[in-house]
Chain A
Amino acid sequence: MRNSLYFYYLTLNLFKDKKKLISTILISSIIIFLLSSIFFIQDSIKASLKSTIKNQPDFIIQKNRGGRQVDLPLDWIDKISQIYGVTSITPRVYGRYYFEDKKKWALIIGVDFLEDISNKELEKIFKDINLKEFIKGSNMIVGSEVYSYLKSHFYNKDYNFLSPNGEFIKVKIYKVLPKELALNYGNVIITSLDLAKKILGVDEDKISDIAINVANKDEWANIEDKLNALFYDILVVSKDDIKRAYDNIFNFKGGIFLSLFLITLTTFMLILYQRYSLVNLDEKKEIAILRSLGWSVKDILKFKLFESLISAIFAFLIGVLSAYIFVFIFNAPILKDIFLGDSNLKNSVIFIRVVDFSTIATIFILFIIPFIASILIPVWKIAISSPKEALK
């Protein structure tokens, strides 16, 4: 490389017209930056969801009346436990709680600590908690978003919930979940099952829904049939259903972003085409001189394309790297709001770092093919500048 005449002359030429070089690299890297940020955020959210789904129970059983979910009786648990193949059953109580101003809400999840905790992510959360003490008192674990909301309303240690039948329930903030879990648990309040029932006004002998696990995946379809036969007004949601729903939502969101991006990309191609077509006389003359010195059209094409390719690769590296820093270190301000725009509480999501090769390859292809495609014809046009131009 250091003793290559070609490379030497390439760099010499590249830096000769700094203005053109910088402007090309600048617009290209902005495009790549936007593109990479979107992909990075999408991948990161997908990865978080994937780990959440992995921790989901295999089936959730809900009772439906008139298309609305209603609480179901506790004794269903016994009936379900008689179905052969069901490995675990967990009653669940949860619901939205609207804070005083009725604008913000949090999701209250009641957990039955005596039963197996079906959610493996929760299992991790409770590992270093003294369960007995937690259940005995009136305690809660809150997500980071909930916590910052409470703090901003001067509830630093505890909060007075107002139950549907008008009584105040004072609950102590026992622990705050780390920000890394904010995407899934930022907006969550975890309490014991009984406390959750009180706050949400669920009857003693009722629960919100039932989560069950079935170890043998081949049995899934079979079990779903049996459940539907057992109760008539029931909705069975399998893990696969949830997974596909999530996937589609995110592909859809990503798709919308991508189509927006395509418009930007078209603009980018037009700008590039213009930039490369707008050949000043000096440049044309320079090519003419080179041809008069013995360069063939082929040599010039090769040289000019190499030159562009180098700036493209530079721009690519700059764009991807700055997007990485933007998303994973600065946590993607502005873009995050667009992506998670409908979130309830103030966002405190932290993107977990996932960058895989396929994303980088996708970004590269999406950038480099339009890039080269739009400069090919203008570059050819300059390359055939006749050497007789040099005489003028």
Chain B
Amino acid sequence: MIKIKNLYKKFKDFEALKSINLEINDNEVVILKGVSGSGKSTLLSLIAGFDKPTSGVILIDNEPISKLPDLHLSRFRFKNIGFVFQNFNLIKNLTPLDNILAPLIPYEKSLQKAQKKALNALKVANIEHKAKEIVANLSGGEQQRVAIARAIINSPKYLLFDEPTANLDKNNSLLFLDLVKKLKNLNKTIIIATHDPIFDKLEVEFKTIKLEDGRVYE
């Protein structure tokens, strides 16, 4: 469970997030809605521990992640959080298989075990058939699925998506919605930051949280 209490984030004098209070339950799907610049990405990065809040508390499974030292935060992130970036952030000249091994390097010794895990993740993300091609040659939709596979390789509980359909055509967007359904059935807690209306078509139960100028309107 994610609990956010009285969260503020300032960039110099600009308040990007103001007094955020939120609770997200396990296995819930949350759509974080808001126009560009409303603070969605900022909120996601605070939840993932990429950045530190100016004040307030974020508890994930009762762990106050914004005050964890780097070593513990990293371990926590590795175990519990998968993040899919808007631009996917893959290493373009490697294969999907090699790309998604990356999170395991500090934690897993055996190459064989890691590769097995990786193939499994690729399968869940429906991109197994392209495992050994070069990422640069894949389409946007395919690259996104590789990024998803990398996010779920260590089966984290929480999955965060930043504008997942921004770089996809309609067809691929719909495929993504299917994938969300599949992931929810795998017991993930999912937070999607988006301003794409296509998510109204999502076939699973979800909660919408509206962000406007850094404030929440539920």
Direct contact of A and B (CB under 8 A): yes
A positions within 8 Å CB-CB of B? 2-6, 8-9, 12, 16, 285-286, 289-299, 303, 386-388, 390-391
> Which residues on the B side are within 8 Å of A297 (C-beta)?
70-71, 74
> Which residues on the A side are within 8 Å of B162 (C-beta)?
391
Q: Does B111 sit within 8 A of A, measured CB to CB?
A: yes
Query: 1/0 per residue B4-16: CB within 8 Å of A?
Result: 0000000000000
CB distance from B209 to the nearest CB of A (A): 19
Q: Please report the C-alpha to C-alpha distance between residue A390 and residue B113 in the assembled complex, in whole angstroms.
A: 28
Other-chain residue from A286, A295, A298, A391 in contact with B105 (beta carbon distance below 8 A): A295
Q: Does B89 sit within 8 A of A, measured CB to CB?
A: yes
Q: Does B77 sit within 8 A of A, measured CB to CB?
A: yes
Complex interface residues of chain B between 92 and 129 (CB less than 8 A to chain A)? 93-94, 98, 101-114
> Which residues on the B side are within 8 Å of A286 (C-beta)?
91
Q: Does B50 sit within 8 A of A, measured CB to CB?
A: yes
Other-chain residue from B74, B98, B110 in contact with A295 (beta carbon distance below 8 A): B74
- Which of A289, A297, A298, A386 lies at the interface centre, i.e. has the most chain B CB atoms within 10 A of its CB? A289
> Which residues on the B side are within 8 Å of A298 (C-beta)?
70-71
> Which residues on the B side are within 8 Å of A386 (C-beta)?
50-51
CB distance from A247 to the nearest CB of B (A): 52
> Which residues on the A side are within 8 Å of B114 (C-beta)?
5
Find out whether the CB atom of B48 lies under 8 angstroms from the CB atom of A292.
yes
Find out whether the CB atom of B150 lies under 8 angstroms from the CB atom of A293.
yes
Other-chain residue from A12, A289, A294 in contact with B77 (beta carbon distance below 8 A): A294
Query: 1/0 per residue B70-100: CB within 8 Å of A?
Result: 1101110111000101100101011000100
Find out whether the CB atom of B51 lies under 8 angstroms from the CB atom of A388.
yes
Other-chain residue from A4, A6, A8, A387 in contact with B50 (beta carbon distance below 8 A): A387
Find out whether the CB atom of B50 lies under 8 angstroms from the CB atom of A5.
no
Find out whether the CB atom of B94 lies under 8 angstroms from the CB atom of A12.
yes
- Which of A4, A294, A295, A391 lies at the interface centre, i.e. has the most chain B CB atoms within 10 A of its CB? A294
> Which residues on the A side are within 8 Å of B108 (C-beta)?
5
Given A5-B110, A8-B111, A16 and B93 touching (CB < 8 A)?
A: yes
Find out whether the CB atom of B111 lies under 8 angstroms from the CB atom of A299.
no
CB distance from A312 to the nearest CB of B (A): 21
CB distance from B76 to the nearest CB of A (A): 8
Q: Please report the C-alpha to C-alpha distance between residue A5 and residue B91 in the assembled complex, in whole angstroms.
A: 17
Find out whether the CB atom of B85 lies under 8 angstroms from the CB atom of A295.
no
Other-chain residue from A6, A296, A390, A391 in contact with B70 (beta carbon distance below 8 A): A296
Find out whether the CB atom of A290 lies under 8 angstroms from the CB atom of B50.
no
Find out whether the CB atom of B74 lies under 8 angstroms from the CB atom of A294.
yes
Find out whether the CB atom of A390 lies under 8 angstroms from the CB atom of B110.
no
Other-chain residue from A9, A292, A295 in contact with B101 (beta carbon distance below 8 A): A9
Find out whether the CB atom of B105 lies under 8 angstroms from the CB atom of A5.
yes
Given A12-B94, A390-B89, A296 and B101 touching (CB < 8 A)?
A: no
Besides A285-B89, A299-B74, 13 more A-B contacts (Cβ < 8 Å) are A3-B111, A4-B109, A5-B101, A5-B108, A5-B110, A5-B114, A6-B105, A12-B94, A293-B102, A294-B77, A298-B70, A303-B105, A391-B41
> Which residues on the A side are within 8 Å of B105 (C-beta)?
5-6, 9, 295, 299, 303
- Which of B73, B91, B101, B154 lies at the interface centre, i.e. has the most chain A CB atoms within 10 A of its CB? B91
Given A6-B109, A296-B106, A291 and B89 touching (CB < 8 A)?
A: no
Q: Does B45 sit within 8 A of A, measured CB to CB?
A: yes
Q: Please report the C-alpha to C-alpha distance between residue A61 and residue B19 in the assembled complex, in whole angstroms.
A: 100
Find out whether the CB atom of B91 lies under 8 angstroms from the CB atom of A294.
no
> Which residues on the A side are within 8 Å of B45 (C-beta)?
387-388, 391
Complex interface residues of chain B between 129 and 185 (CB less than 8 A to chain A)? 150, 154, 162
CB distance from A87 to the nearest CB of B (A): 70
19 contacts between A and B (CB under 8 A): A3-B111, A4-B110, A4-B111, A5-B110, A5-B113, A5-B114, A12-B98, A286-B91, A290-B102, A293-B78, A294-B77, A294-B107, A297-B70, A303-B106, A387-B48, A388-B50, A391-B50, A391-B85, A391-B86
Complex interface residues of chain B between 18 and 73 (CB less than 8 A to chain A)? 41, 45, 48-51, 70-71, 73
Other-chain residue from B71, B75, B79, B85 in contact with A390 (beta carbon distance below 8 A): B85
Find out whether the CB atom of B71 lies under 8 angstroms from the CB atom of A292.
no
> Which residues on the A side are within 8 Å of B89 (C-beta)?
285, 289, 292, 390
Closest to A12 in B: B98
Given A292-B48, A388-B45, A391-B50, A5 and B78 touching (CB < 8 A)?
A: no
Q: Please report the C-alpha to C-alpha distance between residue A386 and residue B48 in the assembled complex, in whole angstroms.
A: 12
Q: Please report the C-alpha to C-alpha distance between residue A9 and residue B108 in the assembled complex, in whole angstroms.
A: 12
Find out whether the CB atom of B50 lies under 8 angstroms from the CB atom of A292.
yes
